[in-house]
């Protein structure tokens, strides 16, 4: 039912991963049910089928880039919308069973992306240890707890979940790395505008038209809508056919973004609205970047009122 707060949550599992850690920052999820899914597709299909109210899935990583499977799933099938974004610092730890000394570690379980992000630390501190690929950070922690491996690279929540001792924390080579997650629900009224929002879109351009992508960008630029992310993914139809994913500043209820969406509807083969939602803030003190002069909502309202006066025969 639109407007009803979600109580049944699903996330990309297994337990003890960054996805679970990110979901637990959502207040409603702390009081609802949290069920791990085996894949992004399974998580989103649970929402589509009505078995869950919302799914938390990874959208992009500051080191690895966009999560292609999430973009593909959002562009295809029954529509879903993003209602919230969660940006989580990626802080890997090296964890092992209690009593394990760092010098005795000969095997380390890690998801390939985790070991890649910790390559420098492993080279400097465990040059002789064998790194074994596993399916997830949670699986790495579980394997270390079961004694299959001497240690695991995992999320702090995974070490705590499996009662492992942290041998070293913040071992990633890029200490400022973050992962952006999206909380996805079935279509309904978007959260009200906050004045600091993000709108996500998937657009299909007309491939037989010269300058098609430029015309898309111009619809945003001339209205002062800031494009914060653009990604392309193949549609699977033919070589050279792509769907573009855009993140823009603003809310669908805003005048300038609304005009931009109307423009995109005119010039694109298809536009899929993926949601308007509050931008993640690291602290309440953060403020949105103001629109350039002449391109704020107030400027648009003033221009519309001026045009209305002209049409009414008032020349002031």
pLDDT in tens, 170-224: 999 888 888 899 999 999 988 899 988 999 999 998 766 677 788 889 999 888 8
What's the mean pLDDT in 296-307? 84
Contacts 24+ apart (CB under 8 A), 69-72: 69/39, 69/40, 69/41, 70/40, 70/182, 71/202, 71/231, 71/233, 71/245, 72/233
- Mean pLDDT of all residues in the chain? 88
Q: Would the pLDDT of 1 be above 50?
A: no
Q: Is 7 helix (H, G, I), strand (E, B) or coil?
A: coil
pLDDT of residue 48: 95
pLDDT at residue 112 greater than cutoff 50: yes
Residue where a domain terminates, one of 188, 219, 251? 188
288 and 143 within one domain = no
Neighbours of 90 (CB within 10 A): 22
Does 303 lie in the same domain as 198? yes
For the segment 255-263, the average pLDDT, to the nearest whole number, is 91
Domain co-membership, 114 together with 39: no
Provide the number of structural domains found in the chain: 3
For the entire predicted model, the pTM comes to 0.81
CATH of residue 29: 3.40.190.10
Residue 293 is predicted with a pLDDT of 78
Same domain, 6 and 78: yes
Q: Which two tokens stand for residue 94?
A: 């090296």
225 with 270, same domain: the answer is yes
Residues 49 and 181 in one domain: yes
pLDDT value at 74 more than 60 = yes
Same domain, 83 and 103: no
pLDDT score of 4 more than 80: no
Confidence of residue 57 (pLDDT cuts 50, 70, 90): very high
Residues 199, 303, single domain; the answer is yes
**Domain housing 119:** 93-169
């Amino acid at each position: 039912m639109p407007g009803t707060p979600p109580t049944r949550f699903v996330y990309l599992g297994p337990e003890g991963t960054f996805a679970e850690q990110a979901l637990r920052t959502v207040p409603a999820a702390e009081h609802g049910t949290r069920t791990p899914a085996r894949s992004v597709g399974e998580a989103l299909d649970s929402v589509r089928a009505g078995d869950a109210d919302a799914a938390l899935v990874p959208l992009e990583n500051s080191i690895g880039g966009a999560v292609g499977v999430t973009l593909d799933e959002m562009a295809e099938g029954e529509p879903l919308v993003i209602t919230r974004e969660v940006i989580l610092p990626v802080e890997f730890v090296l964890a092992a069973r209690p009593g394990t000394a760092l010098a005795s570690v000969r095997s380390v379980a890690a998801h390939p992306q985790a070991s890649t992000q910790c390559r420098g630390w492993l080279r400097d501190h465990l040059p002789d240890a064998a790194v074994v690929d596993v399916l997830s950070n949670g699986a790495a922690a579980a394997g270390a707890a079961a004694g299959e491996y001497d240690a695991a690279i995992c999320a702090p929540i995974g070490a705590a979940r499996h009662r492992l001792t942290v041998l070293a924390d913040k071992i990633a080579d890029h200490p400022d790395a973050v992962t952006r997650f999206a909380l996805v629900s079935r279509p309904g009224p978007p959260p009200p505008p906050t004045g600091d929002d993000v709108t996500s879109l998937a657009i299909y351009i007309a491939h037989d038209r010269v300058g098609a992508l430029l015309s898309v960008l111009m619809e945003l630029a001339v209205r002062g809508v800031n494009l914060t992310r653009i990604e392309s993914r193949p549609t699977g139809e033919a070589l050279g056919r792509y769907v573009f994913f855009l993140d823009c500043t603003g809310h669908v209820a805003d005048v300038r973004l609304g005009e931009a969406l109307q423009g995109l509807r005119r010039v694109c083969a298809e536009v899929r609205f993926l949601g308007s939602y509050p931008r993640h803030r690291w602290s309440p003190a953060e403020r949105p970047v103001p629109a350039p002069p002449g391109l704020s909502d107030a400027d648009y309202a003033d221009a519309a009122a001026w045009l209305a006066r002209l049409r009414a025969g008032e020349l002031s």
